[in-house]
Amino acid sequence: MDSDTPPAEVLDELFATIQDRKETLPEGSYTASLFTHEKGQNAVLEKLGEETTETILAAKDGDDEELLAESADLVYHLLVLLAMEDRDLDDLRLELRDRF
């Protein structure tokens, strides 16, 4: 993915990158480190908790820039969790669509 990626494609490209990291486990990759962490799933779950709290605090502070940054951290870690649980981005889309 690069800065030319259309916004509508970013989540798909990010999820594909996360799945690639899960399969190839490259050295130096933070994403790969979450799949190999000695804490296992808890490593991601703890980050989800942290990023949720940081997102809440940014919203309470009315800090729009920080809100976006922490929301991005939160969404990224949620995508890592879905990949870890062998779910696909379409699974999430279908779940949301079924609520229309």
Ligand X SMILES: N=c1c2ncn([C@@H]3O[C@H](COP(=O)(O)OP(=O)(O)OP(=O)(O)O)[C@@H](O)[C@H]3O)c2ncn1[C@@H]1O[C@H](COP(=O)(O)O)[C@@H](O)[C@H]1O
**Residues at the contact surface with ligand X, assessed by CB under 6 A:** 1, 14, 17, 21, 29-31, 54, 72-73, 76
Three-state secondary structure call for residue 91: helix
Q: Which is nearer to ligand X, 30 or 100 (CB)?
A: 30
Q: Which is nearer to ligand X, 38 or 98 (CB)?
A: 38
Rounded to 10 deg, the angle between the 64-84 and 41-60 helix axes is 160
Give burial (CB, 10 Å; 0-12/13-18/19+) of 36.
exposed
Minimal distance in Å, beta carbon 33 to ligand X?
A: 8
Q: Which is nearer to ligand X, 68 or 94 (CB)?
A: 68
